[in-house]
Amino acid sequence: MADRVGTGPGRVLVAVYGLFALSATARAGVQLGTKYGHAPLAYLLSALAGVIYIVATVALATSRRRLALGCISVELAGVLAVGTVSLLRPSLFPDASVWSGYGSGYGYVPLVLPVVGLWWLARGSRARSGPVPPADRGEA
């Protein structure tokens, strides 16, 4: 069903988003709590990333398509912007944020995840606006 964003392959997306929500938020929480002054910008950005992951997880799990689209778009913009700035001005990031180096510290999953997420949402809305041609329905 097209409206079911969080089922089928979407459930895998929910799982991975949940994992990142947990790890990014916990890590940022520890860093902000124990050594805020060391790299405030990186830690605050990690916390922001964590919050976005949490909202995206909930939006995907509860099939709130609009909210999910908004979150994942911000996330993609964030990882591209922070990734670029962290390479051009490394002095701003004495410690890594989740999105530094386009998420290289997390195996580039933070970069791949929003792309996959947007693709999944786009695929669903296309299916909703009309029958999916058989060629599009097959397993990848």
Report the interface residues with another protein, using CB under 8 A: 7-12, 14-16, 18-19, 22-23, 26-27, 30, 33-34
- Report in angstroms how near the CB of residue 75 gets to another protein at its nearest: 19
**Helix axis angle, 40-61 to 65-88, nearest 10°:** 160
Contact partners, residue 52, CB within 8 Å, separation at least 6: 71, 74, 75, 78
Of residues 22 and 80, the one with the C-beta less far from another protein: 22
Q: Could you tell me the smallest distance in angstroms from the CB atom of residue 103 to another protein?
A: 16
Please identify, using beta-carbon distances, which residue of 32 and 85 lies nearer to another protein: 32
Least distance CB 78 / another protein (angstroms): 23
Closer of 60 and 72 to another protein (Cβ): 60
DSSP designation for 62: T
| Phi and psi, residue 37, nearest 5° | -70, -15
Minimum distance from residue 26 beta carbon to another protein (Å): 5
CA distance 53 to 19: 9
State which residue, 73 or 104, has the beta carbon closest to another protein: 104
Measured in residues, the chain has a length of 140
Nearest-angstrom CA–CA distance, 121 and 60: 9
